[in-house]
Amino acid sequence: MARSQTPARKGEPLGDFTENIVDIDVTSEMEGSFLEYAYSVIYSRALPDARDGLKPVQRRILYMMSDMGLRPDRGHVKSARVVGEVMGKLHPHGDTAIYDAMVRMAQDFSLRLPLIDGHGNFGSLDDGPAAPRYTEARLAAAALTMTDHLDEDVVDFVPNYDNQLTQPDVLPAAFPNLLVNGTTGIAVGMATNMPPHNLVEVIAAARHLIANPGATLEEIMRFIPGPDLPTGGRIVGLDGVRDAYATGRGSFKTRAKVEVEQLSARRTGLVVTELPYMVGPEKVIEKIKDAVNSKKLTGISDVVDLTDRNHGLRLVIELKNGFNPNAVLQQLYRYSPMEDSFGINNVTLVDGQPQTLGLLQLLQVYVEHRLNVVRRRTSFRLGKKKDRLHLVEGLLIAIVDIDEVIQIIRSSDEASAARERLMSIYDLTEIQANYILELRLRQLTKYSRLELEKEQDELRREIEALEAILASDELLRDLVSGELAVIAEKYGTPRRTVLLESEAVSPTVAAALAASVPGPKGKAAALPLEIPDDPCWALLSVSGQIARTSNQEPLAEAGPRTKHDVFRSVVKTTARGEIGAVTSQGRMLRLQVMDMPVLPPVSGLPNLAGGVPAKDFITLLKGETLVAFVPLDAVLAIGTVQGVVKRVQPDYPLNREDWEIIALKDKDLVLAVEPAQDDNVDLVFVTRQAQLLRFSASNVRPQGRTAGGMAGIKLAAGDEVIHFGTVRADDPAAVVVTIAGTNGALPGTAPGTAKVTAFEEYPAKGRATGGVRVHRFLKGEDTLLMAWAGHGPAKASSAAGVARALPHEHGRRDGSGVPLSQPVEAIGPSMAWAEAAE
């Protein structure tokens, strides 16, 4: 031992002293110190207890908040106050560790059933929480079930770090918190990582295990098919989940919930509404931008975060035109956190020892803990009831002769003498005698024999019930199971995470994969990133809906229809091609076909209700409407309301998106546009006053796009053109359809009469003449409501979308029509003519 010496002043030599240096083995010292440190980290910090699913710091926070009375029906208190109480009384570590654990228990995106009700900024997946002096907290309603009945000797209490206070060794835990909320932690030489599960499913499995102690893992997994993550998402592939449930170790893939949406008429996007567990939107945006900048991701034009409190997560990934959304989504899964892997490692403390447990073992440990808690609670309550019954029985003995009891007490010199006399005279126990001595005189007015006998009977019934529970394992299990059922009903919520046995493939994706080139060495084929330049149809309906098909199958009429199924224009093109759109004011706009919404592949007639309105896709002027889709490489025939006709050459400017193709007079409008490449077609006008003019296209020479056209049909005063079209002169199946009605009636409000006549019945006339009569009006009819000429047979469509054939009358061309049973909104040919429209 070194002798105590007065320290030498600076610069002076030290005095004489004795040294005692002890040689130790560094290896042994390091081993011992490291093992002690490792055990401390494993047992006191990082790993949860398998019974209540809590780490020591979490357990101490909940216990201290319960002890402080921070219940859900009371106000919040500063988080700093809670942290200070926990740190000063139970957890002698840094305040940061305590606050971090407290914050996690308040985050609804971290825990499936949060245990703390936080007020203020408790952080997000991308940002940390505010300082504890700014936030407030109290216990959540579910946390009360974790700490209930602590005053009934349900668990053991152990001393705190300085042996001045006590704390519970484990919480009663009225629900399987470890499975419901999961956990994560890194110890020395081991780590734990457990996903959250659905409360209703876990409790259902626990109740099944309580009723059937010999249940197998397969039976348990019928109730718990997989994790249920707080942020939802999708789990793809369940083999890793099954391995983890069997052995305690495994992994699974989580994916974001993504929908392909039409953001605008021209722009498609991927909308993310759920992300993988513990992945924030800012992290996803950052990774996507990095991948785009490094050329790993293509086809993405922008990423916008539209998340708010009212609508939740909404991450919009805008795509460039011409890219396959499903192929871009596959790239996003590969190069961004929109697909993440979760490794399950069920390492927990069982009897103070770290063990890796499967699902069945975890439930067994919890059920055994809960049975023990309820058994101890029942024993405690039984003891309390018996003690009270003992006192009531003593009171019943004394109250019979209460005046004598009072006289005995008054005549005794001291309490001990009065106690002895009461015990000897009335045969009372010391506890009963003391209780009588402690009664105040005013309390004697409350007691009557009937009331005490009623309480005695009730206590005996309760004692009998408690003893039955302790004597019967079946009753004990029924009680625990019933309490779990109440918890599930009160706090249970529907499942949020979708479980997929394998990657779900939509029919569109499946068809694209089937058509794609197989990957090398048997690997799965990848979707083509860019939209291939496949043949397709560009469609325009009479109601102004536009779309394109995914292929160029014949548009044969079949299946259900809607009012959008009556096509005004059908143009054969390719997915990456261009077509023209002609408006009522004589403008032509250049359209990219791949910008149009794609209709799902169907056999037969596509449903144009899946398209978009033309006004949302094309910028139209005030009062302007879309008339037709046309190819850009064909001579076009244009007809106007005032009877002007024009054939225009396809010499369109290459550096402009819109231009004029006819110079219109005042109040004149383009009525229809049809391809008229050769001269072997007839141009047909039908007017509102039932006049039809047919003449050869050779009579109209092609003009430049700035010309104003020439006279087509001579109109009478007040008359106007209601139909213009082209018909092949040698088509024997061509027909003319007219529907007559009343001038004042709105179209589609009155049935009217319909007439179908063979086109060959009408002779060709010279251009700029008045034509011939096409329909004889009946009484009450004074105008044509609709007219159409072309390849038959003809069909009519009502507001309900029902297509039906019109009656054919191949008699006199100027005869009257056949009455219709109900009004129609549009007329047109069978869709089988689309192939011939090439």
Task: Output the pLDDT for position 549.
Answer: 84
264 membership: H or E segment, kind and range: none
Task: Output the pLDDT for position 6.
Answer: 52
Q: Does domain 678-838 have CATH number 2.120.10.90?
A: yes
For the segment 703-731, the average pLDDT, to the nearest whole number, is 90
Encode pLDDT of 263-293 as tens digits: 877 788 999 999 999 999 999 999 999 999 9
Encode pLDDT of 359-404 as tens digits: 999 999 999 999 999 999 999 999 999 999 999 999 888 887 888 8
Q: Which amino acid would we find at residue 636? A: L
Task: Output the pLDDT for position 829.
Answer: 61
Confidence grade of residue 524 (pLDDT, cut at 50, 70, 90): very low
Total residues belonging to the chain: 838
The contacts of residue 149 (CB under 8 Å, 6+ apart) are 172, 373, 377
Distance CA 478, CA 467 (A): 15
Distance CA 557, CA 225 (A): 46
Encode pLDDT of 553-587 as tens digits: 766 554 555 665 677 888 999 888 889 999 999 99
Task: Output the pLDDT for position 406.
Answer: 84
**Within a 13 Å sphere around the CA of 522, how many CA atoms are in the beta-carbon half?**
0
Task: Output the pLDDT for position 550.
Answer: 80
Confidence grade of residue 510 (pLDDT, cut at 50, 70, 90): very low
Average pLDDT along the chain: 85
C-alpha pair distances (Å), 59 with each of 33, 53, 87, 118, 155: 27, 9, 13, 17, 13
Return the residue matching tokens 């002027």: 621
- 371-491 homologous superfamily: Topoisomerase, domain 3 (1.10.268.10)
Distance CA 15, CA 613 (A): 102
Q: Say which residue, 552 or 10, is predicted with more confidence.
A: 552
**Topology (CATH) of 31-199:** Topoisomerase II; domain 5 (3.90.199)
Q: Is 762 a catalytic residue?
A: no
Task: Output the pLDDT for position 449.
Answer: 79
Encode pLDDT of 648-684 as tens digits: 988 888 888 889 999 999 889 999 999 988 888 999 9
Distance CA 471, CA 481 (A): 17
pLDDT for residue 523 is more than 60: no
Q: β-strand 347-350 against 315-319: which pairing, if any?
A: unpaired
Encode pLDDT of 781-816 as tens digits: 888 988 988 887 666 665 545 566 666 655 566 667
Torsion of CA 196, 199, 205, 211, to 10 degrees: 140
Q: Which of 188, 94, 106 is closest to 140 using CA atoms?
A: 106
Task: Output the pLDDT for position 65.
Answer: 96
Contact present, 117 and 138 (Cβ < 8 Å): yes
* Cβ atoms within 10 Å, residue 674: 22
Report domain extents, the chain.
31-199, 371-491, 678-838
Encode pLDDT of 129-156 as tens digits: 999 999 999 999 999 999 999 999 999 9
Contact present, 281 and 305 (Cβ < 8 Å): yes
Encode pLDDT of 1-19 as tens digits: 444 455 555 555 556 667 8
Dihedrals φ, ψ of 247, to 5°?
Answer: -115, -15
pLDDT for residue 835 is more than 50: no
The contacts of residue 65 (CB under 8 Å, 6+ apart) are 82, 116, 137, 138, 139, 143
Q: Say which residue, 36 or 457, is predicted with more confidence.
A: 457
Distance CA 276, CA 234 (A): 8
Q: Which residue is catalytic, options 37, 63, 134, 762?
A: 134
pLDDT for residue 494 is more than 90: yes
Task: Output the pLDDT for position 564.
Answer: 59
Contact present, 321 and 577 (Cβ < 8 Å): no
Task: Output the pLDDT for position 519.
Answer: 47
Q: Which of 688, 693, 779, 772 is closest to 738 using CA atoms?
A: 688
For the segment 163-174, the average pLDDT, to the nearest whole number, is 95
Task: Output the pLDDT for position 526.
Answer: 57
Encode pLDDT of 203-223 as tens digits: 999 999 999 999 999 999 999
Angle ∠(672,675,676) on CA atoms, nearest 5:
110
Contact present, 800 and 767 (Cβ < 8 Å): no
Distance CA 172, CA 380 (A): 14
DSSP reduced 3-state for 377: helix
For the segment 73-98, the average pLDDT, to the nearest whole number, is 94
Encode pLDDT of 303-354 as tens digits: 999 988 888 899 999 998 778 888 899 899 999 999 999 999 999 999 988 9
Percent of the chain with pLDDT over 90: 51
